[in-house]
Every structure is written in structure tokens, then in C-alpha cells.
Copies of this chain bind each other. A is one copy, B any other.
Amino acid sequence: MPRETQASATRRDELLAIAARLFAEKGFKNTTVRDIADAAGILSGSLYHHFDSKESMVDEILQTFQAELFASYDEVLASADDPRTKIERAVRLSFAAIDQHRHEVAIFQNDADHLGSFPRFAYLAERNAQSRNVWMTLLTEGVESGALRQDLDVTLTYRFIRDTVWVAVRWYRPGGGLSHEAIADQYLTILLDGIADA
């Protein structure tokens, strides 16, 4: 790769990281191209040397993140672990994703519904369905193997897990009192065994 191209790619990535932070903090629609340019120390027009549009930026941010995330889920699904271990692994990797890609997770949480209504972002709905399949598979295997309660409402449980895990991006801050591993541990304890005194 020639030096110019490499330097250009780096600048692109810097700009994407800045955009991701602002999209996460203020929402996609509520972030202006001038906001992004200001934060990058350039003028808004200059952004269009790197990207077609504001939409292109969020598109690239989300696609890159989701490709990585679902590769991880697929690894868990394909593994030879027992059902309970698979569920634990899936929960842990989700909290790890919040730790390592919190802006991307926040954008997905806050703006995916709205963005998904445009043809360009149709893949967001597909990824949503894919995520549902992953969890429904894990939970169904859990019930069938006897690891989970036989009377579990699998669909409702899927929603509770999905919501509780991802919504943590609203309050989790890396470097705070709790590591993402510790949060995952605590969460798994509550999820698997409940909060009532045994």
C-alpha cells in the first residue's frame, strides 16, 4: 500500500471515530456535519473530500462494527460448548463489545430503528433478525438440554436479555468502578439464579 493511500485511510478512520463519538452522544440526526468538522478541526465542506454524505459515514461505522460482532456470535454458535456455557459466552462477548465499541453500540441502540426505515439501511433489520436467531437458538438449546427452566417463555427471555445487555451502554463507562467482565459476571448471576434469597 503506497504511503499516500495509507495516510488517507488513517485520516478517514480518524474522521469516522470523531463522527461515531458525536453520533453516539447526540444522535445521528442531531449531529451536524459542521459539528463533525469542528471536532476534527476542519471546515464542513472538507468532509466531502472523504465521504459522500453524512449517511455514508454512519453506514460505514455500523457495517464495520456489525460484521465483527456477528463473527463473534457465529463462533459461539459453532462451538462445542454446552448450552449454558454458550449463553454465558454470548453475554460476556456482548458486554465486551460495549466496552470496546461503545459508540457503535450506542448508535445502533438509538438510531437503528429510524435509519432502518430507509432502503440503504435495510441490512439493519436483517442483522436484528440474525441476532434474534442467535439468542433463540441458544435459549431453546438451553431449555431442551435441561440447563434452563422447562416453563421458560423463550421469546420474552430473549427480549429481556437483549434489552438489558445492550442498554447498559447508557451507563457503562470504561475505566469506571466496574470492569465489563465484572458486570457480565454480576448480570449472569442475576439472570441465571435471580435476586431472591435462595
Contacts and interface: CB of A to CB of B under 8 A. Distances in A.
Interface of A: 26-27, 29-30, 84, 110, 114, 142, 146-150, 152-153, 156-157, 159-160, 163-164, 167-168, 170-171, 178, 183, 186-187, 190-198
Question: What secondary structure prevails in chain A residues at the interface with B?
Answer: helix
Given A30-B29, A164-B163, A197 B148 contact: yes
A109 B149 CA distance: 32
A152 B170 CA distance: 21
Contact of A195 (B110, B163, B191): B191
**Copies of this chain, tallied across the complex:** 2
Contacts of A26: 114
B29 A148 contact: no
A110 B152 CA distance: 30
Contacts of A186: 153, 156
A141 B186 CA distance: 20
Given A164-B164, A168-B163, A193 B196 contact: yes
Contacts of A149: 195-198
- Give the top 6 A-B pairs by smallest Cβ distance, nearest first: A194-B194, A193-B194, A192-B196, A163-B167, A164-B164, A192-B194
Given A163-B163, A164-B160, A168-B163, A30 B194 contact: no
